[in-house]
Amino acid sequence: YNANFINVKMDMEKGEGIDLAKKLAVRAFPTLFYFESNGELMHQVCGAFESQMFIDLGKTALDPAKQLKYYQVQYEKGNRAPDFVQEYLHALGTACIKSSDVLNNFLDSQNKEDLLLPENWLLIEQMLEDYHSNAFQYLESNSMKFSELYGAETVNDKIKSVYELYLGASLSAKDLADFDKRKEELKNKNNAMANQVILDQMIFKYAYMKDWKNYVATVDEYIAKYDSDNWMNMNAYAWHAYEKITDKKLLKKAIVWIEKSVSISENTYNLDTYAHLLAAVGRTKEAIKAQEKVVKIATEEGSDEVSTFQE
């Protein structure tokens, strides 16, 4: 790197980095930008890498036939060969650059039945996010065919993830009216996956609204229907309640969640949450006892958090 580049590390969340992040459309941290000497961007990759892969990325950035700029120029010239477009989509995904237009145009150019091919399913599974795209509509309508080839769990997870993105986008935009409109749209599908996503996203909506009474009621319902054996999610809900809620009556509900979490898999994470919640509702002796257990387990495991738990 020192032989081929002038290397600069910049915090994109403060100082001049904020404006630069907007200019470069940074979507994830870390993102690596490789510029030519004239300042033109020739390659881009997001993510952290082990040293050898990091070195290989630098070599790719210096190869005119492999860098992102090459694919962008070829695509603008009209290259739509399937193998090329798939490589270009992979390069865009690796760079964390929005690729929905390229992806949708490519998938729309395929025969419907060809969307079932392994190479196209890989693109759909890894990159498709557009709820209104023709490819997603085909996937949704033919989920059984995809499931026979790639497994029902994998296919259903993909469909659910697109539902989540579609409904969650309104919350990200802080547009509750649009959220309610999209929620009704999903509700009218009357399928189990859509109903699960709606309930899950309602948890986020109530948290955003700081409507903790409905937040707790919705988490209760979600755990009963979908997360009754998931200790990690119950721990996450309970910790969030500890951080945000002061109403002891509501916190007692969170204690029920964390007690169930502990009963499934007792560990330092959920016991620590349990101790904090007990203290928050005034059950101090029980809280100390629970936290002492956390310290004991952490010590036995050789955890580097023992002092934090002890404190």
- pLDDT tens digits, one per residue of 102-132: 999 999 999 999 999 998 999 899 889 999 9
Is the confidence at residue 154, as pLDDT, over 90?
Answer: yes
Q: Measure the CA–CA gap between 200 and 98, rounded to whole angstroms.
A: 26
Is the confidence at residue 178, as pLDDT, over 90?
Answer: yes
Q: Measure the CA–CA gap between 85 and 224, rounded to whole angstroms.
A: 45
Give pLDDT, residue 38.
93
Give pLDDT, residue 80.
87
What's the whole-number mean pLDDT along residues 154-182?
95
Q: Measure the CA–CA gap between 184 and 189, rounded to whole angstroms.
A: 9
Give pLDDT, residue 82.
84
Question: Which single residue is written with the structure tokens 């969307």?
Answer: 115
185-200 tens-digit pLDDT: 999 998 999 999 999 9
pTM over 0.85: no
Length of the chain: 311
Asked if 21 and 54 touch (Cβ cutoff 8 Å), the reply is: no
Give pLDDT, residue 250.
97
What's the whole-number mean pLDDT along residues 78-100?
89
Per-residue pLDDT band at 98 (split at 50, 70, 90): confident
Q: Measure the CA–CA gap between 160 and 29, rounded to whole angstroms.
A: 25
Give pLDDT, residue 86.
86
Q: Which two tokens stand for residue 196?
A: 């699960």
- The SS3 call for residue 259 is helix
Give pLDDT, residue 81.
87
200-250 tens-digit pLDDT: 999 999 999 999 999 999 999 999 999 999 999 999 999 999 999 999 999
What's the whole-number mean pLDDT along residues 18-34?
92
Nearest to 181 by CA among 157, 205, 161: 205
Mean pLDDT of the residues in the chain = 94
Q: Measure the CA–CA gap between 126 and 140, rounded to whole angstroms.
A: 16
E strand or H helix that includes residue 307: helix 306-310
Q: Which two tokens stand for residue 219?
A: 């988490």
What's the whole-number mean pLDDT along residues 9-15?
92
Q: Which residues, at least 6 apart from 4, have a Cβ–Cβ distance to it below 8 Å?
A: 58, 62
Percent of the chain exceeding pLDDT 70 equals 100
Q: Which two tokens stand for residue 147?
A: 């499931």
Give pLDDT, residue 83.
86
